[in-house]
Amino acid sequence: MTVQTLLNDMRGRLAQVARGTRARAAEKPVSMAIVIAAAGMFAAGAMNAAEMARLQDVAAAHEASLEQTRREAQREINALAARMGELQAQANRLNALGDRLARGAGLDGGEFDFDRPVGLGGTEPVSDMPARKLTDGMQALDVDLAHSGQQLSVLEALLFDRKLEQSAMPSRSPVASSFMTSGYGYRADPFGGGGQFHRGIDFDARTGDPVMAVADGVVSYSGVRGGYGNVVEVDHGNGYVTRYAHNSRNVARVGDLVRAGQEIAKAGSTGRSTGAHVHFEVWENGRVQNPRQFLGDMGVSRQ
């Protein structure tokens, strides 16, 4: 058998098989369609599975990106909230300081009412504020609060110095509920020996009545001094020294820090005196002054 014969034989067998296949397909068309559809569905299913896997990967990447963005935004919000808390605490401190200064300075309500909300308004359209502008605004507010705090601190120091100065200024009577029995200046000598210059003011008192400092200061002398009898002197640290004489007993000692209204002696009639009273003098930078100009709380009656 030659090669050509074999080729011819194979062609014949293939043609026979093709005719048989077409015949069977003609006899069972539905079965063949099912086979073909199944093959198509299998191919489509394979393609859909691959596409679904790709879409799932894309969705997972988007979800991860959104979660990262959310975490970053939350970190910014937390940082802004912490900064806002610091600014609020600083504002509360300044409000408390301003309220204390206003009350200390004797100012009433109105613009110094730190609990009243401040009126605001505006007619321009509203839009979302960028985070950067909010951060810049908070930084500017921080600068303003720091500047205001410095100004209030300076004002507080000035008011404190002023209060200290006022507290050290003679401004009250050394005896409660009393009256003057002899004024400052030239007068007849109470013992009938002619005239004399009276360097202070005499206040009516009963033996044992409290003698009080007329301002804050430090006791610079406590003892007996000639015709003054028992004497207490208080140095107020601003050039002023006050003297309290004829005491039955001195209560304060040298070096004691005394406050205005604090008892420093007991009234009496020691020294050159005709009866129980308090002799009071004011000295400014070594020169005697009329005490009347410094006294505010003179008292009007004995209790």
pLDDT in tens, 265-274: 999 999 989 8
CA–CA distance, 252 with 248 (Å, rounded to integer)? 13
Question: Does pLDDT of 49 surpass 70?
Answer: yes
For residues 216-241, average pLDDT: 92
Task: Give pLDDT, residue 189.
Answer: 73
Task: Give pLDDT, residue 53.
Answer: 79
Round the average pLDDT of the chain to a whole number and report it: 75
Question: Does pLDDT of 245 surpass 90?
Answer: yes
Q: Which helix (H) or strand (E) holds 185?
A: strand 185-188
Q: What is the pTM of this model?
A: 0.51
Task: Give pLDDT, residue 7.
Answer: 46
Task: Identify any residues that bridge with 56 across adjacent strands, giving them in sequence order.
Answer: none
- Worst-scoring range by mean pLDDT, 101-110, 213-222, 245-254? 101-110
Task: Identify any residues that bridge with 195 across adjacent strands, giving them in sequence order.
Answer: 188
Which amino acid would we find at residue 259? R
Winning range, highest mean pLDDT, from 13-22, 161-170, 187-196? 187-196
Task: Give pLDDT, residue 279.
Answer: 95
